[in-house]
Structure 1
Amino acid sequence: MSPYTRYLWLTLGVVCCLLGVIGALLPLMPTTLFLILAAACFARSHPEWHRALLEHPHFGPSLRLWETQRAFTPAGKRAALIGIAAGFALSIWLMAGHPWLQAGLFAFGALLATWVVRRPSIAKLAMTKK
């Protein structure tokens, strides 16, 4: 991988990590999604940071579960669906008077929620640290 490509992956990873931190503080912004993207970027650019994310005491188990099995915990799935519903409901409400935008937001939210529902759920007790 060229140094330029590695730098782009690293930059994208840092941006996603910062968005994940912001998401941990703001109620309707996702956290884990951005941290999953950050981990993927760091895996390509900075293996030490990737490992640090996977070993994080709070976010690490969910990130490892996603990397190894492409699955969520049941609580993570519930949180994602609640966040999707609340975020898209607010967005649709803010787009009052723009029915095409509202319909597009509704359709995208429904597709996203369907994708989350179709992902496997694995209890935390079944997760193993790698």
Structure 2
Amino acid sequence: MTRATIRLIYLLIGLISTGLGIVGAFLPIMPTVPFLIVALWAFSRSSERFHNWLYHHRIYGPLLRDWDRYRVIPLWGKIWACVAMAGGLTITAIFFKPPVWSLVGTGIVMLAVAAYLISKPSHRPAMPEENG
């Protein structure tokens, strides 16, 4: 593959991820920021303009910068993600009645994701005060 083709693939990944992130902003069971993190990564390899736009976005920029610099996930984000996963699994179990093995597998994946989220810091590290 040529370099231009690879850049185009990354650009498409970034645009699709941004679109999914926008949809997630309006649908409570779909995440926003994880898709924007993927978009930021893809844009960093394809479009400096789109990368800068997303990185400095008025609403999502601070969350993306904290993730990029410190791997921080705010406490409210962790709580919201865990509640949304539990709610999604509950709704699926009640209304769609999938096979038990499917629910158990999905629950295990969601527990792993929740453990990962919880393992990340909730705040930026304290910056040492400058002397003099």
| TM-score interval (norm. to shorter) | 0.7 to 0.9
Cα deviation code 1:42-69 (max 9, x no counterpart): 0110011111111111111000001111
Match of 1:117 in 2: 118
Q: Could you say what the CA RMSD is over the residues aligned between the two structures, in angstroms?
A: 2.0
Identity of aligned residues (%): 32
Matched residue count: 126
Tell me how far apart the structure 1 counterparts of residues 66 and 117 of structure 2 sit (CA, whole Å).
14
TM-score, normalised to structure 1, is 0.88
Where 1:45 maps in the other structure, the secondary structure is coil
**What are the equivalent positions in structure 2 for 1:1-130 lying under 5 Å apart?**
2-122=3-123
Once the 2 structures are TM-superposed, how far is the Cα of residue 97 of structure 1 from its aligned partner? 4.9
Gap change, CA 1:99 and 1:69, over 3 Å in 2: same
Once the 2 structures are TM-superposed, how far is the Cα of residue 93 of structure 1 from its aligned partner? 3.2
Which range moves more in the overlay, 2-11 or 87-96? 87-96
TM-score, normalised to structure 2, is 0.87
List gaps (5 residues or longer) in structure 1.
none
Once the 2 structures are TM-superposed, how far is the Cα of residue 82 of structure 1 from its aligned partner? 1.7
Cα deviation code 1:5-61 (max 9, x no counterpart): 000000000000000000001111100110111011001100111111111111110
4+ residue stretches of structure 1 with deviation over 4 A?
Answer: none
Once the 2 structures are TM-superposed, how far is the Cα of residue 94 of structure 1 from its aligned partner? 4.2
Which structure is larger by alpha-carbon Rg, 1 or 2? 2
Tell me how far apart the structure 2 counterparts of residues 72 and 39 of structure 1 sit (CA, whole Å).
16
Tell me how far apart the structure 1 counterparts of residues 50 and 98 of structure 2 sit (CA, whole Å).
45
Tell me how far apart the structure 1 counterparts of residues 25 and 53 of structure 2 sit (CA, whole Å).
18
